[in-house]
């Protein structure tokens, strides 16, 4: 509990607040590290520049003093405020004209020959009396008349001004920059997350009763666009799944109501007059109704799985073998099945579903055929083509697509067989489509011809 509370305190729940805090923290780290580095190095570098300038001038005057070429008036270079040569007794031998500064020289008297002494001091200028910060350098130099002290001084006003500027930047400008970074980040992140909020609001309006609505997709082409697209794809799948469930419930209730009602009536009548009931015949009729119910339920369940995109276990299946097995099972039917099978026609698919497809096609052909069904399997241009042709009355061109709709039964089908469910051909087409193939009704006379086309297995 404590750790969780600490996480909440350290990291706000809002992504906008978190990103703003992170950006501000990174900016603060960079700015303070840069400022600290500059405060630690720039003043020293500036003092080194002043120091080098004064040292060059002091050593030049010291060289002139050793050689006895010293002039009483010393011309100071630019940015060197004051140069002076003094005896140990305090007598000034040479000095910069017009820029004298009141020095307390005893405080800077060098004691060792040829050694540079460096110090900083505040001293009044003679012209206006204002205290000025100076860097002072001195050196004791041997001459023919005895040792003399060479002094040089340069103002540190520019250095102090730069240091104050850096301090102001660190303690005044840096917080302002951080506040600007925080504000800009807050606004930018809020603008970037605005499409996310619209997506969230739209999702909150979508309910299970209405899955047709979609979230807005921004045209920015970024991750939020991908999120919105994926969300809509998910909603599409949910809508299809919900529609599949509703259709399954509607199909089941529609198709199961009639046989269940008929079975109930038969059993109620038999139970009402048990002495006059032919129980073996009633049982046979009940078993027939149960078989029909079982077949309908199996077809509905398979259609529901196909609608939901469920992929059944698949392997390489030889369509010729499946067809040959179908012919063997139907050897005693009233209609003769004439097979014309190639040597091998492998496809990659579900044996159960493909066998169900052939069963439905042959059952349909058997109901409508007069005397003969032609069953042909061939491999043509990388496709396995299976045709089922009967010699019945055929299917009108305007009905050739309608027969694949669920619970659609043409008048001729109802006249020949009242027990059909109208699901067989619909299921067969769904199986074909799920295997990457097609199932259509081709022109043929007399009778009807169903053409199943499936991709041939690549291993062939």
Question: Which pLDDT score, from 0 to 100, does residue 92 have?
Answer: 82
Q: What is the mean pLDDT of residues 137-141?
A: 90
* Distance, CA of 172 to CA of 53 (rounded, Å): 33
Domain 312-455 top-level CATH class:
alpha beta
Q: What is the chain's alpha carbon radius of gyration, rounded to the nearest angstrom?
A: 51
Split at pLDDT 50, 70, 90, the class of 411 is low
Q: What is the mean pLDDT of residues 118-126?
A: 74
Q: Indicate if the pLDDT at residue 254 is higher than 70.
A: no
Q: Which CATH architecture has domain 72-157?
A: 2-Layer Sandwich (3.30)
The burial of 66, by beta-carbon neighbours within 10 Å (0-12 exposed, 13-18 middle, 19 or more buried), is given as middle
Q: Indicate if the pLDDT at residue 260 is higher than 90.
A: no
Q: What is the mean pLDDT of residues 370-381?
A: 92
Q: Which of 61-65, 163-167, 374-378, 405-409 has the lowest mean pLDDT?
A: 405-409
CB atoms within 10 A of CB 249: 12
Place of tokens 């909150």: 204
Q: What is the mean pLDDT of residues 104-111?
A: 64
Query: In whole angstroms, what separates CA 96 from the centre of its chain?
Result: 75
Instruction: Specify the pTM.
Output: 0.47
Split at pLDDT 50, 70, 90, the class of 1 is very low
Decide: 54 and 137 in contact? Cβ < 8 Å. Answer: yes
State pLDDT tens for residues 46-103. Answer: 888 889 989 999 999 999 888 888 888 888 888 888 888 888 877 888 888 765 554 5
Q: Supply angle C-alpha 262, 267, 273, rounded to 5.
A: 130
Question: Which pLDDT score, from 0 to 100, does residue 7 have?
Answer: 45
Question: Which pLDDT score, from 0 to 100, does residue 416 have?
Answer: 52
Query: What average pLDDT does the chain have?
Result: 81
Decide: 266 and 286 in contact? Cβ < 8 Å. Answer: yes
Q: What is the mean pLDDT of residues 265-278?
A: 80
Split at pLDDT 50, 70, 90, the class of 43 is confident
* Distance, CA of 84 to CA of 94 (rounded, Å): 6
Q: Which CATH architecture has domain 223-305?
A: Orthogonal Bundle (1.10)
**pLDDT greater at residue 89 or residue 2:** 89
- The domain segmentation of the chain, as residue ranges, is 72-157, 223-305, 312-455
Q: Indicate if the pLDDT at residue 324 is higher than 90.
A: yes
* Distance, CA of 358 to CA of 371 (rounded, Å): 19
CA nearest neighbour of 156 among 101, 83, 61, 79: 79
Strands 383-390, 372-380: pairing is: antiparallel
Decide: 293 and 260 in contact? Cβ < 8 Å. Answer: yes
Question: Which pLDDT score, from 0 to 100, does residue 415 have?
Answer: 47
* List of residues 6+ apart from 436 with CB closer than 8 A: 454, 455
Q: What is the mean pLDDT of residues 271-279?
A: 80
């Amino acid at each position: 509990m404590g750790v969780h509370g600490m996480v909440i305190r350290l990291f706000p729940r809002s992504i906008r607040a978190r990103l703003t805090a992170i950006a501000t923290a990174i900016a603060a780290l960079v700015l303070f590290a840069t400022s600290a580095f500059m405060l630690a190095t720039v003043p020293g570098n500036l003092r080194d520049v002043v120091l080098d300038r004064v040292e060059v001038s002091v050593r030049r005057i010291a060289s002139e003093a050793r050689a006895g070429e010293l002039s009483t008036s010393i011309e100071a270079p630019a940015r060197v405020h004051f140069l002076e040569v003094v005896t140990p007794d305090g007598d000034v031998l040479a000095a910069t004209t017009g820029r004298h500064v009141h020095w307390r020289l005893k405080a800077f008297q060098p004691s060792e020959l040829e050694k540079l002494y460096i110090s900083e001091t505040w001293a009044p200028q003679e012209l206006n009396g204002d205290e000025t910060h100076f860097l002072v350098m001195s050196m004791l130099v041997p001459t023919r008349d005895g040792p003399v002290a060479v002094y040089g001084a340069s103002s540190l006003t520019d250095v102090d001004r730069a240091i104050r500027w850096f301090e102001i930047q660190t303690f005044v400008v840096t917080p302002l920059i951080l506040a600007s970074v925080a504000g800009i980040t807050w606004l930018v992140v809020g603008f970037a997350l605005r499409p996310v909020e619209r997506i969230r609001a739209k999702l909150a309006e979508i309910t299970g009763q209405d899955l047709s609505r979609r979230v807005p997709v921004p045209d920015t082409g970024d991750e939020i666009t991908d999120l919105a697209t994926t969300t809509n794809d998910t909603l599409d799948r949910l809508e299809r799944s919900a529609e599949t469930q509703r259709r399954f419930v509607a199909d089941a209730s529609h198709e199961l109501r009639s046989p269940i009602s008929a079975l109930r009536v038969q059993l109620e009548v038999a139970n009402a007059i048990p002495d006059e009931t032919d129980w073996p015949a009633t049982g046979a009729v009940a078993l027939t109704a149960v078989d029909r119910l079982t077949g309908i339920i199996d077809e509905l369940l398979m259609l529901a799985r196909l609608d939901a995109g469920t992929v059944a276990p698949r392997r390489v299946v030889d369509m010729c073998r499946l067809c040959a097995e179908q012919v063997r099972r139907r050897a005693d039917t009233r209609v003769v099945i004439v097979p014309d099978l190639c040597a091998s026609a492998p496809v990659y698919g579900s044996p159960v579903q493909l066998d169900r497809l052939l069963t439905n096609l042959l059952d349909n052909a058997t109901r409508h055929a007069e005397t003969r069904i032609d069953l042909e399997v061939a491999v043509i241009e990388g496709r396995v083509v299976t045709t089922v042709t009967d010699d019945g009355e055929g299917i009108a061109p305007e009905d050739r697509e309608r027969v694949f709709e669920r619970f659609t039964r043409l008048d001729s089908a109802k006249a020949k067989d009242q027990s059909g469910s109208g699901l067989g051909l619909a299921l067969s087409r769904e199986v074909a489509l799920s295997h990457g193939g097609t199932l259509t009704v081709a022109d043929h006379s007399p009778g009807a011809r169903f053409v199943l086309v499936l991709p041939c297995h690549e291993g062939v």
